[in-house]
Amino acid sequence: MSVSPSAEVRAEAESRLAALATPPRALGRLGELGVRMATLQGVVPPRPLADPRLVIFAGDHGVAAHGVSAYPPAITGAMVRTFLAGRAGVSALARAHDVAVRVLDIGVDDDFADLDDEVRAALQAHKVRRSCAPSHLEDALTLDELEQSLAAGRAVAREEIAAGADLLISGDMGIGNTTPAAALVAVLCGLPVETVVGRGTGVDEAGLAHKQSVIETAIARLGDRADSPRDVLAALGSADLAATVGFVQEAAAHRVPVLLDGVISTACALAAEHLSPGCAPWFLAGHLSPEPAHLPALKSLGLEPLLDLGMRLGEGSGAVAAVPLVRSAIALLREVALLSDLLPPDA
Ligand SMILES: O=C(O)c1ccc[n+]([C@@H]2O[C@H](COP(=O)([O-])O)[C@@H](O)[C@H]2O)c1
Ligand SMILES: Cc1cc2nc[nH]c2cc1C
């Protein structure tokens, strides 16, 4: 259960923003972001970010063997090794912006036998299964696996919060995962598949048409279970996506703000809001991905993305790229003088 952010703190933060030594609304959306951070932290002015943490939930997807991605499933495990080596796109951004990175194998089709025992144990501490099933042929997960995945994500959020996280970021890695993300958004927002299916890593026209038909078949299989968010997530999702749902749900329950990334992260946040309404006020949108499912998912959550750079990498990269904006917004609300301090009382 998520508690709503305090309306009193919000009003206090808005008053402070209005009183700063700037013309009214001159800070635009940065000012609003500062108010948002103060409200979520429950304190005016907001505290500087001390320990933002990214968790990358990695998993493979049965549909990836059925022509929905421009890349082979083996890339998922290869990229997990790249995160561990600190050499992925998000690794560079996270170093630049002082964000801690943790990668977890929730459902990767790889035993990582080449890794050091300690590294492998940490990577697989919350592993649920190997690749989930292809959702156009059978449910991606059993309901037991779904519960296990949600619990895994919730446990990870508790671990990160206990370790000091004051901002959580959800990242994803999984070849094929834009297929379940689009399927979840289509069902949860009630949109036709053709309006939400996108090219992901870059499928061609024929690949896009095929991806659409895979999603349509998967949704047809779902049948009258579409009203149950748990059934939707088990049938169309995956272990790594469900763990992300549990992660953002638990962060909201602990009143820790979550900075969302692209279409996968946001589809999971949408599923979390459907499973436990009231999470969404704790979410912020780092950026807008060109994947067509992203914007409707953000709108349905009432979120406006901070950046729009055409990024579609995943990994948490668009969210990490927005961390300097969050820090800027906090600094403004903390450090700018008040207009009343500038002028003598009778001026
Ligand atoms: O974050 C996004 O919006 C995004 C958009 C397109 C692709 N991706 C990344 O690319 C992979 C999924 O693409 P695909 O084509 O294999 O479904 C997965 O690893 C995601 O992290 C991510
Ligand atoms: C190389 C590569 C890196 C990625 N990072 C997230 N998804 C990805 C997909 C590919 C193909």
**Ligand 1 pocket check for 89: Cβ under 6 Å:** no
DSSP per-residue string spanning 14-26? HHHHHHBSS-TTT
* CA distance to 236, 276, 281, per residue, from 271 (Å): 11, 9, 14
**Ligand 2 pocket check for 315: Cβ under 6 Å:** yes
pLDDT tens string 209-238:
999 999 999 999 999 999 999 999 999 999
At the top level of CATH, which class does the domain 52-323 belong to? alpha beta
Phi/psi region, residue 2 (left: phi>0; alpha: psi -120 to 50; beta: rest), is beta
| pLDDT for residue 2 | 82
DSSP per-residue string spanning 243-291? HHHHHHHHHHHTT--EEE-SHHHHHHHHHHHHHSTT-GGGEEE-B--SS
**Ligand 2 pocket check for 79: Cβ under 6 Å:** yes
Whole-number Å distance between alpha carbons of 288 and 272: 19
Q: What's the whole-number average pLDDT of the chain?
A: 97
Whole-number Å distance between alpha carbons of 324 and 175: 29
Please check the confidence at residue 139 and state whether its pLDDT lies above 90: yes
Whole-number Å distance between alpha carbons of 336 and 17: 9
Which residue in 71, 4, 9, 5 sits closest to 44, CA to CA?
9
Ligand 1 atom with least separation from CA of 265: 1
| pLDDT for residue 256 | 98
% of the chain with per-residue pLDDT over 90: 98
* Helical (H) or strand (E) element with 344: none
Q: Which two tokens stand for residue 272?
A: 């979390």
252-268 average pLDDT score: 98
Q: Is 149 or 345 the better-scoring residue by pLDDT? A: 149
Range(s) within the chain of domains with CATH label 1.10.1610.10: 7-47+332-342
| pLDDT for residue 129 | 98
**Ligand 1 centroid, distance to 176 Cα (angstroms):** 7
**Ligand 1 centroid, distance to 317 Cα (angstroms):** 11
Please check the confidence at residue 322 and state whether its pLDDT lies above 90: yes
**Ligand 2 pocket check for 71: Cβ under 6 Å:** yes
**Ligand 1 centroid, distance to 312 Cα (angstroms):** 6
Query: With bands split at pLDDT 50, 70 and 90, how would you rate the model's confidence at 343?
Result: confident
**Pocket-testing residue among 54, 57, 108, 173, ligand 2, by greatest number of atoms within 8 A of Cβ:** 173
Verify whether residue 315 is a known catalytic residue. yes
Which residue in 199, 193, 235, 239 sits closest to 214, CA to CA?
193
Chain CA centroid to CA 90, Å: 14
| pLDDT for residue 72 | 98
Q: Are 282 and 257 in contact (CB under 8 A)?
A: yes
Q: Is 118 exposed, middle or buried (0-12, 13-18, 19+ CB in 10 A)?
A: exposed
Residues forming a β-bridge with 173: 58
**Ligand 2 pocket check for 172: Cβ under 6 Å:** no
Query: With bands split at pLDDT 50, 70 and 90, how would you rate the model's confidence at 347?
Result: low
Q: Which ligand is nearest to the CA of 177?
A: 1
Please check the confidence at residue 266 and state whether its pLDDT lies above 70: yes
* Helical (H) or strand (E) element with 205: helix 205-222
Range(s) within the chain of domains with CATH label 3.40.50.10210: 52-323
49-61 average pLDDT score: 99
**Ligand 2 pocket check for 313: Cβ under 6 Å:** yes
ipTM for the predicted complex comes to: 0.99
Residue identified by tokens 């002015």 is 45
**Ligand 1 centroid, distance to 75 Cα (angstroms):** 12
pLDDT tens string 188-201:
999 999 999 999 99
| pLDDT for residue 344 | 74
% of the chain with per-residue pLDDT over 70: 100
| pLDDT for residue 210 | 98
* CA distance to 76, 80, 110, 131, per residue, from 115 (Å): 15, 11, 11, 19
pLDDT tens string 87-121:
999 999 999 999 999 999 999 999 999 999 999 99
At the topology level of CATH, where does 7-47+332-342 sit?
A: 1.10.1610
